[in-house]
């Protein structure tokens, strides 16, 4: 059996050497992608062609790619989302797909709360004014008492709700795939998408991609949101129509937005020009502690597969 492990991550063990040390001590042969940038399809097919296991980032593993990786038996994803992987074909080929689903919860939830607070208190604009030595006091809002609407109420959405409630915010959620008892256990009411958009001061996306019912916040959705509402997206870039968001911000209907994901990355579009918009470079899961823990579990998943302890029926997605 070919036991080669290929690390396709843009960075690996950059701040914490434990994932690399675990890989070295495993005894299995390995190669590491070292450009420091997201791996391209050509680089993946060249460097990973003989790999039995690939430690994957967000690069695509579509049908064309999988068919050109004949030795591949396991994809160990460093992160939660597996949207970029053709799971149907992977299963047909007997390729095990593993991920690190619980580790990023705290990091993403903390960034969401950071954006809620920073946008509500207009921190970016006030800080910019002070840098210009302009003493101007702006109107801002508390998070306490505001209505936060969460689109998607999985692990991350539930943690965001807990943090919001600690600030005495009101929380509702929309998630057609969730049992109401789970929402009730968090003191959160499940509502329709229209109710959420119409009544929320802050709308935050935490849904996973669903091909059957794709979520898109576009012109129609912005038009029914409360005037002065805030939009935050830490889920998927394609869930927000960025052109419609720009128009909603220009018109003043939407007071601000916080985005960590974009339809095309790296993002260099017009949203960069607005002081009431906070943009981060798809970095929600990149705190040093979170990244190290994800890489460690990613390596552990790879080693467990090669040892025969992780099978197709026991994927950890």
pLDDT at 313 over 70: no
183-194 mean pLDDT: 97
Residue 212 is predicted with a pLDDT of: 55
Per CATH, 5-103+287-314 and 105-279 having the same topology is answered yes
Active site residues: 236, 265, 282
Domain ranges of the chain: 5-103+287-314, 105-279
Q: What is the pTM of this model?
A: 0.90
Distance, in Å, from the CA atom of 79 to the CA atom of 96, rounded to the nearest integer, reads: 15
The lowest-confidence range among 68-77, 93-102, 109-118, 305-314 is 305-314
Which of 3.30.930.10, 3.30.70.270, 3.30.465.10, 3.40.50.720 would CATH assign to domain 5-103+287-314? 3.40.50.720
Q: What is the pLDDT of residues 13-72, one digit of tens each?
A: 999 999 999 999 999 999 999 999 999 999 999 999 999 999 999 999 999 999 999 999
Q: pLDDT grade, residue 83 (50/70/90)?
A: confident
Domain spanning 105-279, CATH architecture: 3-Layer(aba) Sandwich (3.40)
pLDDT digits (tens, 9 = 90+) for 114-153: 999 999 999 999 999 999 999 999 999 999 999 999 999 9
């Amino acid at each position: 059996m070919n036991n080669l492990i290929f690390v396709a991550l843009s960075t690996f063990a950059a701040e914490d050497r434990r994932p690399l040390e675990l890989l070295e001590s495993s005894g299995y042969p390995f190669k590491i992608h070292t450009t420091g940038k997201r791996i391209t399809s050509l680089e993946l097919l060249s460097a990973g062609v003989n790999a039995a296991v690939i430690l994957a980032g967000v690069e695509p593993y579509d049908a064309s790619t999988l068919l050109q990786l004949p030795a591949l038996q396991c994809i160990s994803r460093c992160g939660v989302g597996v949207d970029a992987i053709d799971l149907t074909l992977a299963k047909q080929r007997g390729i095990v797909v593993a991920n690190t689903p619980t580790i990023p919860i705290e990091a993403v939830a903390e960034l969401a709360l950071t954006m809620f607070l920073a946008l509500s208190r207009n921190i970016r604009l006030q800080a910019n004014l002070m840098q210009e030595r302009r003493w101007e006091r702006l109107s801002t809002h508390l998070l306490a008492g505001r209505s936060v609407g969460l689109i998607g109420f999985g692990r991350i959405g539930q943690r965001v709700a807990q943090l919001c409630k600690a600030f005495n915010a009101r929380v509702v959620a929309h998630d057609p795939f969730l049992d109401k008892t789970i929402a009730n256990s968090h003191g959160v009411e499940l509502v329709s998408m229209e109710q959420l958009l119409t009544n929320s001061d802050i709308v935050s996306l935490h849904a996973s991609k669903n091909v059957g019912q794709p979520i898109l916040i576009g012109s129609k959705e912005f038009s029914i949101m409360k005037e002065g509402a805030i939009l935050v997206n830490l889920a998927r870039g394609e869930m927000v129509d960025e052109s419609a968001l720009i128009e909603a911000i220009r018109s003043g209907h939407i007071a601000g937005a916080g985005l960590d994901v974009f339809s095309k990355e790296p993002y260099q579009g017009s949203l960069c020009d607005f002081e009431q918009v906070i943009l981060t470079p798809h970095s929600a899961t990149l705190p040093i502690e979170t990244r190290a823990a994800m890489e460690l579990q990613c390596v552990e998943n790879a080693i467990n597969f090669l040892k025969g302890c992780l099978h197709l029926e026991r994927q950890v997605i």
